[in-house]
């Protein structure tokens, strides 16, 4: 069975040595309590929870899955899930990052992201239950009326209730302008919600006493398309303005999905039949409120990808050390054994180093993005807050799109390293490949992330976040240009950064003449951007390792992994660049009939 140990040393290195989070939190109003000692204590306890409570029920939860009782329209989660959730709540984990005025601890979202990585590495299916609650909290914080925050936000923060996002319908996924769910005004100021939503994570379960659904629907006089969407709070059990629970609402789970992976995370068809709901935010402005939830969830799903990369790497490495298979090409490394371990073989090392480079580089990328979010929401400097917001907006589709795609590669490589043993359920490795697959799909597919990055975050808005990021990388390269220890990284980083800027300008010109150029280039542009971003954070990691007090082997491993990344992974951008410059003609030339 697979194992998991929270990578606390690497987390601390990324957070404090590479990114300087300790000093940042001390100067951001409201985050002063996040001292290194407090953060260390939080991470130590989070590691224990992930390793000792969640990891042991990951495989069994996958085997057991969730069970729907159609007669009572209730769902039972796998053995141990309810008890794990109670432990989570008792430990105060649900309150970690919510502001104190809403009953939370007010710690930085960056620290919440680290705890989330631990949870997702240990048990990504279980992690989906609190993840959706976090999105609900963010929406209620930003758009809820005071009574709604008291009645709904505080119980969700406490962990007594959980939240969901009810967006997708049977006939519309990403194109929310097609949704049909209706909201009829009632005399008491509430609304009656009717319609069917699908793919609703944690739509029904046995972990909490109430479930709060945030539902997109149309008012009777709503304009067509996305301009006519409103957002409503629709609880499983009715909630008065005094916060007291009432009778069962007119909504129920219709069925649960039988899925490829995350089988212990319940995914529901939810039917609303005149259910009582409350408008959150302004009428017909639900898309704005929805994106508050969605952007939170997209970063969180990127962390799911990161967590699965780390879990795949840990177990592939352990197996490669133990499994004896043939002799090294240069002669026996362990002559006292009948064969050498897999770790001696070059291609096994290629796969392991790829996983290691993605896990450790991706961790710095994700934490950097979350730190920009903390800056945007806490800085007293208006210009700094604006820059942070523009940076996290730009980086969100990269974190989500890149890290989830790299999770596919990393879990695939784990199965390859295990060989035939990776393909059977008993070892547990194939579960990670199945679990990882959904991360590129929900909260917007990779294609959606790519279109958001190139079409909206770069071209439509003038690329403010990209300009900040390019400027930061260029400044780093200039500052380190005379540092001999960084020469092998800084020189190529400066080149690819300049090429990234030039490629973006080329695309902008081509897109003005032909909008199809955006769709044709977007996914390759996302990978190109992501690989350059990882190169930057690997260079920063080497720079931090030069002055770190961590053991020499750890610091040297950073340099060696960065060297591998620069020589074996970063060159992938050349293929993506060639595909981008190939344009849309070869994609659009064939007629529908000619597809056969």
Please identify every residue annotated as catalytic: 443
Strands 210-217 and 161-166: parallel
What does R_g of the chain's alpha carbons equal in angstroms? 24
Structure tokens at 259: 């899925």
DSSP character at residue 398: H
Give the separation between CA 213 and CA 234, rounded to whole angstroms: 5
Half-sphere exposure of 458 (CA within 13 A, CB side): 30
Residue 239, beta-bridge partner list:
245
Say how many Å lie between the first and final Cα of the chain, rounded.
Answer: 46
Structure tokens at 344: 């001696």
Between the alpha carbon of residue 125 and those of residues 59, 293, 325, the distances in Å are 10, 19, 34
Strands 230-235 and 67-69: unpaired
Residue 277, beta-bridge partner list:
191
Give the separation between CA 454 and CA 576, rounded to whole angstroms: 14
Give the separation between CA 445 and CA 587, rounded to whole angstroms: 20
Give the separation between CA 440 and CA 401, rounded to whole angstroms: 7
Q: 457 and 394 in contact (C-beta within 8 Å)?
A: yes
DSSP character at residue 234: E
Structure tokens at 22: 């300790």
Cα torsion at 216, 220, 225, 227 (round to 10°)?
-80
Give the separation between CA 488 and CA 509, rounded to whole angstroms: 33
Structure tokens at 399: 């974190």
In the chain, helix, strand, coil percent, each to 5? 65, 10, 25
Question: How many other CB atoms are found less than 10 A from the CB of residue 441?
Answer: 14
Give the separation between CA 241 and CA 243, rounded to whole angstroms: 5
The 3-class secondary structure across 446-513, one letter per residue, is HHHHHHHHHHHHHHHCCCHHHHHHHHHHHHHHHHHCCCHHHHHHHHHHHHHHHHHHHHHHHHHHHHHH
């Amino acid at each position: 069975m697979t194992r998991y140990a929270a990578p606390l040393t690497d987390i601390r290195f990324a957070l404090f040595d590479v990114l300087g989070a300790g000093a940042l939190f001390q100067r951001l109003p409201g985050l002063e309590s996040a001292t290194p000692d407090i953060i260390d204590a939080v991470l130590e306890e989070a590691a224990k929870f992930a390793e000792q409570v969640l990891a042991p029920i990951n495989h069994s939860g996958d085997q057991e899955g969730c069970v729907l009782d159609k007669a009572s329209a209730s769902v039972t989660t796998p053995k141990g899930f309810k008890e794990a959730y109670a432990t989570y709540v008792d430990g105060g984990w649900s309150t970690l990052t919510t502001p104190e005025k809403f009953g939370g601890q007010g710690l930085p979202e960056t620290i919440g992201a680290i705890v989330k990585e631990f949870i997702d590495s240990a048990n990504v299916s279980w992690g989906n239950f609190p993840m959706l609650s976090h999105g609900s909290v963010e929406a209620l914080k930003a758009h809820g009326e005071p009574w709604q925050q008291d009645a709904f936000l505080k119980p969700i923060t406490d962990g007594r209730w959980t939240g969901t996002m009810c967006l997708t319908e049977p006939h519309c996924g990403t194109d929310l302008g097609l949704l049909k769910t209706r909201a009829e005004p009632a005399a008491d100021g509430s609304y009656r919600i009717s319609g069917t939503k699908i793919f609703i994570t944690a739509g029904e379960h046995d972990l909490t006493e109430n479930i709060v659904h945030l539902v997109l629907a149309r008012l009777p006089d709503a304009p067509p398309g996305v301009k006519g969407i409103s957002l409503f709070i629709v609880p499983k059990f009715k909630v008065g303005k005094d916060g007291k629970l009432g009778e069962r609402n007119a909504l129920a789970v219709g069925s649960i999905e039988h899925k490829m992976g995350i089988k212990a995370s319940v995914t529901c068809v939810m039917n609303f039949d005149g259910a009582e709901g409350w408008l959150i935010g302004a009428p017909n402005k639900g898309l704005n409120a929805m994106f508050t939830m969605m952007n939170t969830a997209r970063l969180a799903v990127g962390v799911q990808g990161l967590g699965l990369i780390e879990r795949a790497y840990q177990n592939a490495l352990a197996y490669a050390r133990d499994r004896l298979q043939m002799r090294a090409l240069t002669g026996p490394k362990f002559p006292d054994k009948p064969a050498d371990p897999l770790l001696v073989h070059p291609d096994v090392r290629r796969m392991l180093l790829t996983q290691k480079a993605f896990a450790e580089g991706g961790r710095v990328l994700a934490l950097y993005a979350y730190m920009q979010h903390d800056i945007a929401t806490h800085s007293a400097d208006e210009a700094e807050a604006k820059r942070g917001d523009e940076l996290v907006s730009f980086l969100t589709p990269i974190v989500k799109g890149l890290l989830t795609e790299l999770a596919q590669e990393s879990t695939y490589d784990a199965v390859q390293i295990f060989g035939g043993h990776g393909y059977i359920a008993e070892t547990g490795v194939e579960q990670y490949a199945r679990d990882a697959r959904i991360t590129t799909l929900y909260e917007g597919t990779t294609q959606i992330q790519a279109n958001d990055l190139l079409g909206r975050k770069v071209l439509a808005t003038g690329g403010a976040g990209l300009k900040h990021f390019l400027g930061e990388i260029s400044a780093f390269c200039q500052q380190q240009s005379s540092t001999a220890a960084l020469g092998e990284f800084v020189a190529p980083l400066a080149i690819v950064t300049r090429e990234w800027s030039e490629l973006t300008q080329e695309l902008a010109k081509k897109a003005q003449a032909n909008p199809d150029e955006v769709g044709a280039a977007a996914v390759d542009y996302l990978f190109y951007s992501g690989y350059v971003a990882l190169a930057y954070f690997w260079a920063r990691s080497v720079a931090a390792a030069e002055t770190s007090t961590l053991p020499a082997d750890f610091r040297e491993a950073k340099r060696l992994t960065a060297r591998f990344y620069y020589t074996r992974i970063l060159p992938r951008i050349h293929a993506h660049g060639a595909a981008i410059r190939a344009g849309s003609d070869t994609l659009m030339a064939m007629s529908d009939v000619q597809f056969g």
